[in-house]
Amino acid sequence: MKLYELTAHELHDKLMGREISSVELTNALYERIDEVEDKVNAYVTLDKENALAQAAKVDAKIAKGESISVLAGIPGGIKDNISTKGLRTTCSSKMLGNFIPIYDAHVIERLRADETIFLGKTNMDEFAMGSTTESSYFGVTRNPWNLERVPGGSSGGSAAAIAAGEAIWTLGSDTGGSIRQPASFNGCVGIKPTYGRVSRYGCVAFASSLDQIGPITKDVTDAAIVLNSICGKDEQDSTSLNVEVPDFTKALVQNVKGLRIGLPKEYFGEGIDPRVKSEVEKAVKKYEELGAAIVEVSLPHTEYAVITYYIIAPAEASANLARYDGVRYGYRNLEAKSAAEMVTLSRTEGFGAEVRRRIMLGTYVLSSGYYDAYYNKAMKVRTLIRRDFEEAFQKCDLLLTPTSPVVAYPIDGKMDPLSIYMLDVTTIPVNMAGLPGISIPCGFVDGLPVGMQLIGKVLDEATILRAAYTFEQATGYHKVFAPLGGKHND
Amino acid sequence: MKVTAQDVKYIAQLSRLIVPEADLEKSTEEFNQILNYADILQKIDTTGIEPTPYVLPISNALRKDVAKEGVTHEEALLNAPEVYNDGFKVPRVIE
């Protein structure tokens, strides 16, 4: 068993038992990165020097017999839209290609307090706008299960790094499925917490009413451990919730007896690959065997979720991305003759096609004469989507759906934007309603991982973690490695 | 057709972006594809439904009015594309 194949909690035990040192572990991860990164391209920037210095500090603490957190000395990767002081943060955009943050995101402050190791910054769709990581200015990330396939997105680098053994844990961000869908495509665990659970301070804003940071890991236990580190009230984010954060590892109970699991019928209908559906239905059967009660529910406004999202998110993005004007930071066209021309040329040259498309769409739906027809209408439909969930949760404790209607598809750029948007139908409604959602592996189609999504009530991460943990322990899909990621190659 | 090539040019201008002439037709087509699809929203009766700009009932997150250390001059200029006299330099605004 290679070190990079282990989980954070397993490695913590090895550190405490003095079987390995954090420096050894960190070096092992960089060796693995050297070995596979030219195939996978999961990272935009690596930070070996600082990572090893941090590892040495943790080793010194362990040597002195001081107590350390579970994540101390455990190497992870950070999505490149999360600010790291002094370490380039690009959002995988030419616009921020040389941007060095002057402060840490709140989640980074928390992880530093836990003395964890940052290996580097992971690749993503430019400004988190995409579902394939193909829109990165730094080149596509490839799926470790099949290098000709997309890793999903927008946190494609964070998920591929886990599957390829290039990080023990990673952070992603999820605006319409950007943690859960790549976790699903790469056979990982990915959780989007309740909106407001995790501070967005220092996460480069895309759609502020939807963005949320969360972990991508090899198993449910690690997801709970990273959540414990990053959740909690932060004064610097006005939408950060002032609520008690439970110890999420306490939710890892292997028991679903009496839990009522709702199956929203709209998520199992048209548009879903029948082979994916069949794998997810097997998972449902497994839950029944384990003692859960299965109930059918309906979320009648599901069909409107995608377009509602593609009005609201671009609208918010067009406002958030107005700050990139080439004046104070970011890419600048140096030939422009006037300030106005400089702004327009810098934005046109600094942003990629998908980002420009969404800024324009957002500008349009917010413009005078169209605001009511599009943006205001979409915000009202968002209310209906939210109410659907409230009603469904009268009948069940959590919902189970496919994470994505498909498995990872080929890297060929043949799909038009709307067809790609439509595939987000299973993850988007969760962001619209601000609910917690987790994706865990539940099967394979053509050797590619299938993920199932468990959706919880507001602030009820505990129930979906418990259900996810129970399934994981009863099945063991999390122990199957990607062809690049270990066992099969050894 | 919801928007013409001329409209797309205007939206680009509002967004401080340029759509190259060669891409204009395709951009217009993609724009219309998405806006036509948005027509399904008109099927839903939203009379009396309150909009949801944010999901959680949080308002006025306030903190004590105590001065905190801000960004230093050096930090503020760290990422500046062009600096002149300790400030951000931009091309001439007024001729």
Q: Per-domain residue ranges for chain A?
A: 3-264+394-489
When mean pLDDT is compared over A246-255, A268-277, B62-71, the highest value belongs to: A246-255
In a domain, B33, yes or no: yes
Q: Is A333 on the interface with B (CB under 8 A)?
A: no
Q: Which residue has tokens 């690749």?
A: A123
Whole-model pTM: value is 0.97
Using alpha carbons, select from A464, A459, A470, A440 the residue that is nearest to residue A183. A440
Q: In whole angstroms, what is the distance from residue A167 CA to residue A122 CA?
A: 10
Domain boundaries, position B35: 5-43
**A144 secondary structure, DSSP code:** T
Contact B30 A379 (CB under 8 A): no
Q: For B66-93, what is the mean pLDDT?
A: 94
A positions 398-457 inside 8 Å of B (CB): 416-418, 421, 432-434
Mean pLDDT of chain B: 93
Residue in B3, B46, B56 nearest the CB of A241:
B56
Q: For A27-42, what is the mean pLDDT?
A: 97
Q: At what angle do helices A22-40 and A8-16 cross, to 10 degrees?
A: 150
Overall domain count for chain B: 1
Closest B-chain CA to A239: B58
Provide the number of CB pairs (under 8 Å) joining chain A to chain B.
156
Q: Is A63 on the interface with B (CB under 8 A)?
A: no
Tokens found for residue B15 = 């967004």
For B16-60, what is each residue's pLDDT tens digit? 999 999 999 999 999 999 999 999 999 999 999 999 999 987 778
Q: In whole angstroms, what is the distance from residue A313 CA to residue A154 CA?
A: 14
Shortest Cα distance, chain A CAs vs residue B39, angstroms: 9
Q: In whole angstroms, what is the distance from residue A480 CA to residue A189 CA?
A: 13
pLDDT at A490 over 90: no
CA angle A152, A154, A160 (to 5 degrees): 50
pLDDT at A49 over 50: yes
Architecture of domain A3-264+394-489: Alpha-Beta Complex (3.90)
For A72-107, what is each residue's pLDDT tens digit? 999 999 999 999 999 999 999 999 999 999 999 999
pLDDT at A454 over 50: yes
From A105-114, A432-441, B62-71, the region with the lowest mean pLDDT: B62-71
Q: What is the pLDDT of residue A1?
A: 83
Residues 6+ apart with CB under 8 A from A397: A259, A260, A261, A262, A457, A463
For A130-169, what is each residue's pLDDT tens digit? 999 999 999 999 999 999 999 999 999 999 999 999 999 9
Residue in B18, B19, B78 nearest the CB of A100:
B78
In a domain, B60, yes or no: no
Q: In whole angstroms, what is the distance from residue A195 CA to residue A435 CA?
A: 7
Shortest Cα distance, chain B CAs vs residue A379, angstroms: 5
Q: What is the pLDDT of residue A335?
A: 96
Q: In whole angstroms, what is the distance from residue A199 CA to residue B60 CA?
A: 16
In a domain, B92, yes or no: no
Contact B51 A382 (CB under 8 A): yes
For residue A238, is the peptide bond before it cis, meaning its omega torsion is within 30 degrees of 0?
no
Q: Calculate the CA B62 to chain-centre distance.
A: 26
In a domain, B65, yes or no: no
For residue A450, give the 3-state DSSP assignment: strand
Q: What is the pLDDT of residue A485?
A: 52
For residue A190, give the 3-state DSSP assignment: strand
Q: Are strands A117-122 and A75-79 parallel, antiparallel or unpaired?
A: parallel
pLDDT at A488 over 70: no
Q: Which of A89, A309, A367, A379 to mutate to test the interface with B (most CBs of B within 10 A)?
A: A379
Residues 6+ apart with CB under 8 A from A248: A223, A224, A225, A227, A228, A231, A461, A462, A465
Using alpha carbons, select from A1, A5, A48 the residue that is nearest to residue A27. A48
Query: Which residues in chain B are contacts of A314 at CB distance < 8 A?
Result: none
Distances (CA, A) of A87 to A100, A214, A378: 6, 20, 38
Q: What is the pLDDT of residue A413?
A: 76
Query: Which residues in chain A are contacts of B38 at CB distance < 8 A?
Result: 307, 311, 374
Q: What is the pLDDT of residue B60?
A: 82
